[in-house]
Structure 1
C-alpha cells in the first residue's frame, strides 16, 4: 500500500515539536491540517502513533519506532532536494532563525533587508524570543546566541559587532531628584529597574573598571521579563521611575535625545558579541548556506573598514 509522504512528514514534525500547535508554526501550516494528516497516517498504518490529551501529545511505542526509522529517510529526501537547489543560480527556500529579542532589535535591521535584496527567492522567518530553546526541535535552521549559551557541538560564526557594552542610565529628572551615584555600590540607595530571565533569575548588576569587578544587588519598584517588555522598562526610566542597565545600543537613541543620561560610565561592562550557530551536518540547506556566506562577507568588510574583528568557535 502506498503511503502519503506528506502525512509521514507531518508525523515527524509533530514528534519533533512535541505538539500540533508548535509543529504547525514550524511548517507555516495549521494544527487542524496536521491533525488530519496524522489521523490519515494512523488509519493507513493501522496503529495509534500519538497519545493525545487536552494538554499533551506523546508518541506511542509504535510511534517512536516509526519516527526513529523515518527521520533518516526523510533527511535523505531533504538532502536530495536541497542538492538540486544548489544547481540554481539563485537559492530558493525558507530560512528560519531563532534569535534573542535584542538581536532582532539591534543587529538584524542592518542585515536582513540587504540579505533579502541579494536573495529575492529566499524567505526569512524570524522567531524572536529570549528564552533558550532547542532550535531544531523548534523547526529552525540556525540560531543566534551569545557565547555562554552556545552548545559545544555547534558550528558558530561571528554575527554583528564583536564588542558590546551594558550602559547604566537614568532620566535627568530622576538624577536631579535622587542624586548622581559616583560609585556602583551607591546604587543600593537608588530605585533600579530590573530584568528577569525566562528562568526566573534576576541577576545582580556587574561592573568593570580596570582590574576591578563589582557585583551589586540592586532593588527597585519595577521588574520586567527580558524580551519585548524591556521597552516598557526603558519608557519607565525615561519618565523617571529609576535607573536602568541595558544594552548600550538599545539605550543610545534615548541618550542622544537627552531623555536619559549616562550613569557610572567608566564602570560600564563590555562583553563579546553574538554568534550565528548551526549543527555540524553533511549538507547545509541552501538558504542557510547563502546566509552564512553573506555573514562571512559582512565580517570581512567589517575587518577591512576597521569596524570589528571576527573569529569562530569552530568550523
Structure 2
C-alpha cells in the first residue's frame, strides 16, 4: 500500500467530526477543495469509501467510523507529543482555537486577546464566532466561551471579561414621542418590537426582572432578524423597541439616538465563562491562555469550577 500522509488523515478526521467540508475548512483555515482532494487521496490509497457525501450532509461510512474511532486518539497523542516540546521554549507556540458567541467576539474578547497575544507572540489565536449551542470539542476547538446556562456539563469553567452584564430595552426618541413609553414589561404587547432570531431558529422571549420578580414577554413587531446591526439600525430609525445586550447599544445610548426604557426592569446576569475539558494533557497554548486569564482575575478571587449540571 502506498504510504499514507498524516495531513490526509487529519483532513479526514476534521471533515468527519465537522460533518461537512465547509465547516472543517473554516475550523482548519484551509479550503474545502483541499480537504476534498486529501480525502480522495486517502480513500484511493485505502481502497475503501470513508465518507458518504450528499448535497446536505457528510457522514462516515461504517469503515470510516471505525477508522475515526481508532485514529482520533492516536492523532491526539501525536499532537500532545509535539506540544510537549513547548516546555523547552521560553514562550509556547501553536494555535489556540476558541468558539465564542458574537457578543464576546465583539465586546469582551478583543482587549483580552490583544494583551494575551502581546505576551505570547508565538501563539496564533483562531476565534470561531458562533451563537449556536455547539459541542466545542466536536467542532475542533480547544476551549469555548459561553454564559453559565450554556456551558456544557463536566467542563472546567472560569470567569473571563466582565463579571456581570445586562440586557436593556431601548427605542428612538421619535418612536417614544409617537407611541409613548412603556411603564411595565406587559405594556410591550401593545408596542412594535424588534426581535432577534438565533442560528438555531429560536426566537427567545424577552425577560425582565425586578425585586425577584421575573416577567417573560413574547412581543411582536415589524422586524425579525439574525444580525444585530440590522436590528439596531431599525430601532434608531424609529421602527420599534429593541431588547439586547447593553454593549450592543452603548454608542446609540450615549449619543441619544436611542433612549432606555423599563430601566428598573433591566435584567442583570453573570458574565461569560471560559470553559474546557481538563487540565490533564492541556495543549500549551490553552494552558498559557488559562494561566493568563487566571492571573488577570486574581485580584477578584476568580477560580476554576467544574460544571456538573
Please indicate, yes or no, whether the TM-score normalized by the shorter chain is above 0.5: yes
- Residues 87 and 238 of structure 1: CA distance in aligned 2, closer, same or farther (over 3 Å): same
Q: Specify the alignment match of 2:250 in structure 1.
A: 252
Mark the CA change 1:152 to 1:173 in structure 2 (over 3 Å): closer, same or farther.
same
Specify whether residues 201 and 51 from structure 1 end up closer, same or farther in structure 2 by C-alpha distance, changes over 3 A only.
Answer: closer
8 Å CA contact 1:24–1:31 kept in 2: the answer is yes
Tell me the SS of whatever aligns to 2:214. strand
In the alignment, structure 1 residue 77 sits paired with structure 2 residue 69:
no
Aligned partners of 1:216, 1:164: CA distance in 2, in Å?
A: 20
Which shifted more, 191-200 or 267-276?
191-200
Aligned with 1:153: secondary structure?
Answer: coil
Residues 64-116 of structure 1: CA deviation (Å, up to 9, x unaligned): 22221111211111110011122211111111111101111110122111111
Q: Does 1:29 align with 2:21?
A: no
Partner of 1:237: 235
1:1-315 equivalences in 2 (<5 Å): 1=1, 2-225=3-226, 229-280=227-278, 282-301=280-299, 303=300, 310-314=302-306
Mapped partners of 1:201, 1:50: distance in 2:
31
Offset at residue 311 of structure 1 (A): 4.6
> How has the CA–CA distance of structure 1 residues 202 and 40 changed in structure 2, closer, same or farther, with 3 Å as cutoff?
closer
Offset from partner CA, 1:244-295 (integer Å, 9 cap, x none): 1111122122111111111111111111111111112631111111111111
With normalisation by structure 2, the TM-score equals 0.93
Q: Is the 8 A contact 2:171 2:241 kept in 1?
A: yes
- Distance verdict in 2 for CA 1:10–1:201, change over 3 Å: closer
Task: Give the whole-Å Cα distance in 2 for the aligned partners of 1:4 and 1:176.
Answer: 68
* 1-structure distance, mates of 2:68, 2:212: 54
Count of aligned residue pairs for this structure pair: 306
Kept after mapping to 1: 8 A contact 2:194/2:231: yes
Computed over aligned residues only, the root mean square deviation of the Cα atoms, in angstroms, reads 1.8
| TM-score, normalisation: structure 1 | 0.91
Which whole-Å CA distance do the structure 2 matches of 1:3 and 1:203 have between them? 48
Distance 1:200 1:47, change over 3 A: closer
Cα deviations across residues 7-47 of structure 1 (Å, max 9, x unaligned)? 22222222112122222222222222222222222222222
- Answer whether contact 2:27 2:128 (CA < 8 A) is retained: no
Q: 1:85 to 1:154 in 2, by over 3 A?
A: same
Q: Structure 1 residues 48 and 212 mapped into 2: Cα distance closer, same or farther (>3 Å)? A: closer
Q: In the superposition, relative to structure 1, how do residues 64 and 270 fare at CA in structure 2: closer, same or farther (>3 Å)?
A: same
Structure 2, unmatched stretches of 5+, are: none
CA gap of 1:14–1:203, structure 2 versus 1, over 3 A, is closer
Distance apart, 1:201 and its partner CA: 2.6
